[in-house]
Structure 1
């Protein structure tokens, strides 16, 4: 019987892994999210359990102020954001590590100021990369399209995760 440990406190990652049918234990990693690496694909692998949002070529992490969150969300209005997330699977028996990254794009209709105000007041935007909450009831109707998958945007691409789990088991 395989035991899984999710090294992230992310609610959406727990939800996605549960949807995939896995039982797991959560052991959140204490990592420095302020590491400076310019290439988003390299950054997410270095962070190993994180997701970053790219808007106009700039990496956006979790907003820390209301003004920052407002700027992020207004920037997505009638525009798009890219998410780049990584998955790192370690087979603790064989010490085999498999890693990869996945990218998706989210295109938005105009996001009204009252929606932005409500999101900031609620506070959830401060816990996600780029303040990007595509699954939220206030923002999901404003998503024009997603290139990629919703689970990738939310931080744990199912297809990549499954592929890496299977590969790590074959290598043991």
Structure 2
């Protein structure tokens, strides 16, 4: 695959395997850092404001651990990508389920209904200090999800580690996804078009 990063370096500030996979699919090479912030300490009423605030907090936490002076001196810039995502269901913000019971409650609610993902991308140029972020929203509509499928998803366990317990790329739930208004990569945690756009803008 073509390496797009000959003119700059990238740090992906995330421990998410799916974000890592998506960024690699986009043709970028990158190094990884995780922010390790207390996400529950940051609260906003609107999902768009929350995901942007969390992406900012993640970037700030990572920047505190980096020798910024070294990055300023380097010939090519280094771009830091941070992001966050929540699920919105009936106007309520949902983050990662606290338990299997909560994941089950979430999934039963989606059955025959609809939810949305709201995700942010923030790019910081460590050489120039430029920083810009935006958010993306995707609407997801479901057919009825059988109880046995919900139990299978909970048993597999992956739904416990994603916002709202929503994992529409899982083969078990795919047949019950009626419609997706937006892009699958955004639902998975890193919208490709928005990420590309912000990376380009950070280099201007």
TM bracket (short chain) = over 0.9
1:81 equivalent among 115, 125, 132: 115
Query: Radius of gyration: which is bigger?
Result: 2
Alignment of 1:21-32 (within 5 A): 21-32=27-38
Question: Counterpart of 2:16?
Answer: 10
Q: Runs of 5+ in structure 2 lacking a partner?
A: 1-6, 56-82
Alignment of 1:62-77 (within 5 A): 62-77=96-111
TM-score (norm. length: structure 2): 0.82
Question: For this pair of structures, how many residues does the alignment match?
Answer: 170
Question: Counterpart of 2:155?
Answer: 121
Instruction: String of CA shifts for 1:22-42, please: whole Å, max 9, x gaps.
Output: 011110111122121111100
Offset, 1:137:
0.7
Alignment of 1:1-172 (within 5 A): 1-34=7-40, 35-48=42-55, 49-170=83-204
Offset, 1:139:
0.8
CA distance in 1, matches of 2:157, 2:14: 20
CA distance in 2, matches of 1:144, 1:11: 26
Instruction: String of CA shifts for 1:11-66, please: whole Å, max 9, x gaps.
Output: 11111101110011110111122121111100000011210000000000000111
CA distance in 2, matches of 1:33, 1:115: 30
* Divergent runs of 4+, >3 A: none
Instruction: String of CA shifts for 1:50-92, please: whole Å, max 9, x gaps.
Output: 1000000000000011110000001110111100000010111
TM-score (norm. length: structure 1): 0.97
